[in-house]
Amino acid sequence: DAASQKDLRSPICAILGHVDTGKTKLLDNMRKTNVQEGEAGGITQQIGATYFPIDMIEKKCETMRAYTDPQFNVPGLLIIDTPGHESFTNLRTRGSSLCNIAILVVDMHHGLEQQTLESIRLLKDGKTPFVVALNKVDRIFGWEPVPNSNIRDALAKQSQSVQAQFNSRLEATKLLFAEQGFNSEVYYKNKNMSKVVSIVPTSAVTGEGVPDLLYLLLELTQTRMSKQLMYLSELEATILEVKVVEGLGTTIDVVLSNGILHEGDRIVLCGSNGPIATTVRALLTPQPARELRIKSAYIRHKEVKAALGVKISAPDLEHAIAGSRLLVVGPDDDEEDLKDDVMDDMSGLLDSVDKSGEGVCVQASTLGSLEALLDFLKQMKIPVMSIGLGPVHKRDVMRCSTMLERKRELALMLCFDVKVDKDAELYANDNGIKIFQADIIYHLFDEFEKYQKEMLE
């Protein structure tokens, strides 16, 4: 009935897979945007979020009507983009833990690569249903583009040689999945969606198969997600990013997985100087079908319903930590209790800090990238003396300089995706503290490893 229909929430889908399989490009195709080409090094280094209202999805699935009569009951679909680079296991873990269903993107010309296998493990562990986008069909030699067509019509228009190449790639892929313990089948021949993984051949560049992919996601979430999961209930929200926006000050980008957020809500979140309790000043979203992580003209809302990505403007967000949960103080809640709950998220990270007080200093833009850096240093067996989030100031370098007398070789800082201010840089130069800085995480790793090797020689 009408009342319950209104209470349905939008499902969340994460896109996972090895680096450069075409995850962001697929989203660009759905959005008609160019986010991928604007990325540093052409790689994704943050979790993204894009909300598609249901009428937009219906339009994109128009070409499916030749084969089926799609029914859409949910208000929309939130798609989470994740990085495929090996350094961002933590962000893939976060993305997959946030979602109800996933798209595993496989480059049909490369098979199952390292981070695709890792993603499969994450999906298995989380018992998350997924479909496979077998991407880059347009790279088959001789492929004639049929832009934005459903995949069956597009395949029917190809030469025999293209069809033969396609079939052999498809069969090879099915074998690879079998090796991983999964039966799989191209989705329109799949008679048992709950046991057999569906494969959707796609091109993110010419758009074939993208309507099929959207159709299938909606079909599966509506028929296979339990009713429970489909309804709006208790608030669940995770901070993806902390960003300074001109005119708004420090804001947080949040994935609202369940529940309703209102302007004026009292919220509690994790801060680098302790828990933060503040009041929502504004709830902002990008236009429909636009990436939350890209700056745009925001729409302001009195309330927002799950699932979607929302930018929150509020006082005192300067020290908010990406990756932490966001809680809302309800009428029966004790704000102090919620502060304790939320700070438990940080304790894991602080465990990586060496108790002896000896080690290097690490500074990053998000909790997620900080985790990645700490994992890396652990593997390298390099102790960490302190961790920090956000820009590097002189006081951070001064803290690091205490190592000069204790263990000179550890008097260094690893800084990912953060600014180092002038005073900090001058102080470091004058005192012989080495600062490693990069906005591509594996460049930072490479540079640091090279330095370590040179030191040993």
The footprint of ligand GTP on residues 105-164 (CB under 6 A) is 105, 135-136, 138-139
How many residues does this entry show for the chain? 457
Quote the least distance from Cβ 81 to Mg ion, whole Å: 6
Cα separation, 91 vs 75, in Å, equals 26
44 lies in the site for ligand GTP, by CB under 6 A: yes
45 lies in the site for Mg ion, by CB under 5 A: no
Quote the least distance from Cβ 326 to Na ion, whole Å: 29
386 lies in the site for Mg ion, by CB under 5 A: no
- Residue by residue, DSSP assigns 80-92 as EE---SGGGHHHH
Contacted entry of Mg ion, Na ion, ligand GTP, none for residue 78, CB cut-off 5 to 8 Å set by kind? none
Cα separation, 46 vs 293, in Å, equals 8
Quote the least distance from Cβ 119 to ligand GTP, whole Å: 11
Query: Nearest CA to 17 among 81, 79, 84, 80?
Result: 84
99, 70 in Cβ contact below 8 A? no
Say what the alpha-carbon torsion angle 162, 168, 171, 175 is, to the nearest 10 degrees: -140
Cα separation, 194 vs 311, in Å, equals 36
* 107 vs 219 by CB, closer to Na ion: 107
Q: Is the dihedral of CA 35, 37, 40, 46 positive or negative?
A: positive
| Among the listed residues 24, 96, 116, 184, the single contact to Mg ion using CB under 5 A | 24
| Among the listed residues 12, 16, 35, 43, the single contact to Na ion using CB under 5 A | 43
Contacted entry of Na ion, Mg ion, ligand GTP, none for residue 119, CB cut-off 5 to 8 Å set by kind? none
Q: Is the dihedral of CA 364, 366, 367, 370 positive or negative?
A: negative
Show the tokens assigned to 382: 């390099």
Cα separation, 455 vs 436, in Å, equals 15
Q: Which range touches ligand GTP (CB under 6 A), out of 81-89, 183-191, 217-225, 338-346?
A: 81-89
17-27 core/surface letters (b: 16 or more CB in 10 A; e: else): bbbbbbbbbbb
SS3 450: helix
Quote the least distance from Cβ 85 to ligand GTP, whole Å: 6
3-state helix, strand, coil in the chain (%, to 5): 40, 25, 35
| Among the listed residues 9, 31, 60, 85, the single contact to ligand GTP using CB under 6 A | 85
Cα separation, 63 vs 150, in Å, equals 6
Quote the least distance from Cβ 19 to Na ion, whole Å: 6
| Among the listed residues 10, 12, 16, 24, the single contact to ligand GTP using CB under 6 A | 24
96 lies in the site for Mg ion, by CB under 5 A: no
Quote the least distance from Cβ 37 to ligand GTP, whole Å: 8
Contacted entry of ligand GTP, Na ion, Mg ion, none for residue 99, CB cut-off 5 to 8 Å set by kind? none
- Residue by residue, DSSP assigns 320-342 as B-TT-EEEE--TT--HHHHHHHH
396 lies in the site for ligand GTP, by CB under 6 A: no
* 84 vs 359 by CB, closer to ligand GTP: 84
Catalogue the E-assigned strands of 108-259: 130-135, 184-186, 197-201, 236-245, 249-258
Cα separation, 254 vs 10, in Å, equals 15
* 19 vs 415 by CB, closer to ligand GTP: 19
Query: Nearest CA to 26 among 160, 128, 148, 185?
Result: 148
Query: Nearest CA to 4 among 70, 53, 73?
Result: 73
| Among the listed residues 9, 18, 23, 60, the single contact to Mg ion using CB under 5 A | 23
Query: Nearest CA to 153 among 201, 107, 185, 205?
Result: 201
Contacted entry of Na ion, ligand GTP, Mg ion, none for residue 359, CB cut-off 5 to 8 Å set by kind? none
Quote the least distance from Cβ 41 to Mg ion, whole Å: 11
The footprint of ligand GTP on residues 215-274 (CB under 6 A) is none
Contacted entry of Na ion, Mg ion, ligand GTP, none for residue 135, CB cut-off 5 to 8 Å set by kind? ligand GTP
| Among the listed residues 4, 7, 42, 348, the single contact to Na ion using CB under 5 A | 42
* 133 vs 433 by CB, closer to ligand GTP: 133
Q: Residue 54, Cα to own-chain centre: how many angstroms?
A: 22
Contacted entry of Na ion, Mg ion, ligand GTP, none for residue 139, CB cut-off 5 to 8 Å set by kind? ligand GTP
* 24 vs 119 by CB, closer to Mg ion: 24
Residues engaged in binding ligand GTP (CB under 6 A): 17, 19-25, 36, 42-44, 83-85, 105, 135-136, 138-139, 203-205
Task: List residues near Na ion by CB under 5 A.
Answer: 20, 42-43
Binding site for Mg ion (CB under 5 A): 23-24, 44
